[in-house]
Structure 1
Amino acid sequence: MSQEQRSADHIRQKYGLEDRTIVDRMRENYAGYIFIIPTFVMFTLLFYIPMFRGSC
């Protein structure tokens, strides 16, 4: 394969991917992040706080 065939632009074109950044994706899916962040925070607190308190 030549370098041209393996380029990022060629891969995007071959698979129909758009040239979007992570920030663009976050803007499009902000509602999902709003719902998942509190769940992640509570899981983290409920998991790690007892673990740290038990080790002291």
Structure 2
Amino acid sequence: METIKKEKTFDSVKMMRETRDKISSETQNMTFEELKDYIKKKLTESKSKLVGQA
């Protein structure tokens, strides 16, 4: 049986790491209250909802 190697067009691990690093740098010196406000703002901008909320 031959293995067919397919080139990736999208690297999800690389994207996740870049996103995580960006968020970490933006939030590194925030207090807990500032972090909550940051998360609420980002959710509002993306029109996403918090987990467990209707």
Bigger radius of gyration, 1 or 2? 1
Q: Same fold (TM over 0.5)?
A: no
**TM-score, normalised relative to structure 2:** 0.34
- Which has the larger share of helix? 1
**TM-score, normalised relative to structure 1:** 0.33
Q: Which structure has more RCO (C-alpha within 8 Å, separation ≥ 6)?
A: 2
